[in-house]
Structure 1
Amino acid sequence: MQSNTMQPLTAKELEYIVDSISNEELLIKQCAATASCTQNPSVQQHLQRYIRTHEEHLNALIGALDHHRHLAPTQPQS
């Protein structure tokens, strides 16, 4: 029988989420920088869409961390 109780995230899962957050932030910055440099409205529009998509990914990752926050230890683990 499997429990529906949420388990704390493992260190590996936390590392993966943190890396993914960093990647999404970098993609947002790169898309924004490219959009500001191009004069092509179509390219700018596509890049703005990509920015929104990556912001959604970023928010989902942060939400996952937030959702598990109550399970995190309150003291550093040794």
Structure 2
Amino acid sequence: MAYRESFYRFLMTQRDPDSTDEVAQFANNAQHDQTFPKQAQDYEEISDYLELNAGYLPSMSIFDHAYQLYLDKMNY
């Protein structure tokens, strides 16, 4: 199986402090989340974490969109 970068690593490429884009804002906030599962690739693992711990994420649909961008980039 080919190497696939973690979702967090992908998400960090989406950061832009000057953007109003929801995914960019998610990335900006996740950067400061010390307990974010930084090695995770699995949707369920990350989703469960965010639902319980990410008060900075106003809607899980933002995560869903970001995760789809991640899958598209990883060609999965």
| Structure with a larger share of its residues in helix | 1
Q: Same fold (TM over 0.5)?
A: no
The higher relative CO (CA closer than 8 Å, separation ≥ 6) is in 1
Bigger CA radius of gyration = 1
